[in-house]
Amino acid sequence: MDFTKFETISIKNHPELDEKWVQARIAEDPSILGLGDVILKDKERPQPRAGRLDLLLQEAESNERYEVEVQLGQTDEKHIIRTIEYWDIERRRFPQYEHIAVIVAEDITSRFLNVISLFNGMIPLVAIQMKALKAGNSIGLVFTTVVDQMTLGLLDEDEEVQETTDRSYWELRGSKKTVAIADELLELARIHDKALELKFNKFYIGLAKESQTRNFIIFRPKKGFLRFEPRLKSTIEIQEFLASAELNVMDYDSQWGRYRIRLQPGDVEKSKKVLAEVIARAFAESNKD
């Protein structure tokens, strides 16, 4: 195996290369950014009264979209603001997708790394540092993620601050009929683990096994219905599956990674096969964590 010495070069100061050259390389093969199996949806995408978004990428098997801004040289406050502005415009125009802002720059300084990290607590934001390497007449690009999208803690991880309650609390807050829906869904979950039990917390009803939290599904009883929340990655396949079952699906909770389905008394029996499949998928995903 031959050893090749690479020379790091500055694209910003290169006489022939520019930002459009970088955009073209990413557009040819978006996977080089390291964001997963993504495809190009658009480039130089016009924004209302706000210039053009460099690249719009989408996850091949889900509804996640990445608003990507490329900058040569050091990143700066204008670049950060522009990236967030384009992300905000796209998410407002197309709320059916999950949107993630992506900053790509040759040099992400410690000063702006701290600023980006602060934003990432409130905005799904990824920062990628780009290096151009030269060997002979060939030039390659290396992308390194320096700030990844912050994943919020799961409800399981917050259990120590959850005040426990009992069944009567939820029958009063919701109703006996809607709490009974949780019993029906528990039976479907017990197909996969007979030791599961309802755990009554102040803000939701979860599951537990031998006192250990197992919140791959949770329940929020109201007076006339129960909100069923399975933890599943948002995908077009699951959306179409739920839509075909004619369930009352609410908006997806992207912060906690949960679908939200409104169920009334009688709905579990009517849609048992579909709900059993949803629970099976949520259980399977929980075992991958």
What residues are paired with 58 via a beta bridge? Answer: 39, 65
Q: Which pLDDT band holds residue 287 (cuts at 50, 70, 90)? A: confident
7-147, what's its fold? Answer: Trna Endonuclease; Chain: A, domain 1 (3.40.1350)
Topology, domain 155-286: Aspartate Aminotransferase, domain 1 (3.90.1150)
What SS3 state is found at 158? helix
Q: What is the pLDDT of residues 79-122, one digit of tens each?
A: 888 898 999 999 888 887 889 999 999 888 777 777 777 766 67
- 139: number of CA atoms within 13 Å, CB side? 14
Residues counted in the chain = 289
- Report for 115-119, 255-259, 263-267: range of highest mean pLDDT: 263-267
Q: What is the mean pLDDT of the chain?
A: 86
> What is the mean predicted confidence (pLDDT) over 41-69?
86
Q: Two tokens at 192? A: 């996969």
Q: Is the pTM of this model over 0.75?
A: no
pLDDT in tens, 148-203: 765 545 444 444 445 668 999 999 989 999 999 999 999 999 999 999 999 999 88
Tell whether the model's pLDDT for residue 237 goes beyond 60.
yes
- CATH 3.90.1150.200 domain range(s) in the chain: 155-286
pLDDT band (50, 70, 90) for residue 247? confident
Strands 261-263 and 248-249: antiparallel
Q: Inform me whether the pLDDT recorded for 220 exceeds 90.
A: yes
Contacts of 256 (CB under 8 A, 6+ apart): 152, 154, 155, 229, 231
Positions of CATH 3.40.1350.10 in the chain: 7-147
Residues 240 and 207 sit within 8 Å (Cβ to Cβ): no
Residue 39 burial (CB count, 10 A): 10
Report the share of the chain in percent with pLDDT over 90. 44
Q: How far is CA 111 from the centre of its chain?
A: 27
Average pLDDT over every residue of 241-253: 82
Instruction: Write out the H or E segment, with its range, that includes residue 191.
Output: none
Long-range contacts of 42-47 (CB under 8 A, 24+ apart): 47/85, 47/86, 47/89
Q: How far is CA 107 from CA 131, 143, 283, in A?
A: 8, 11, 42
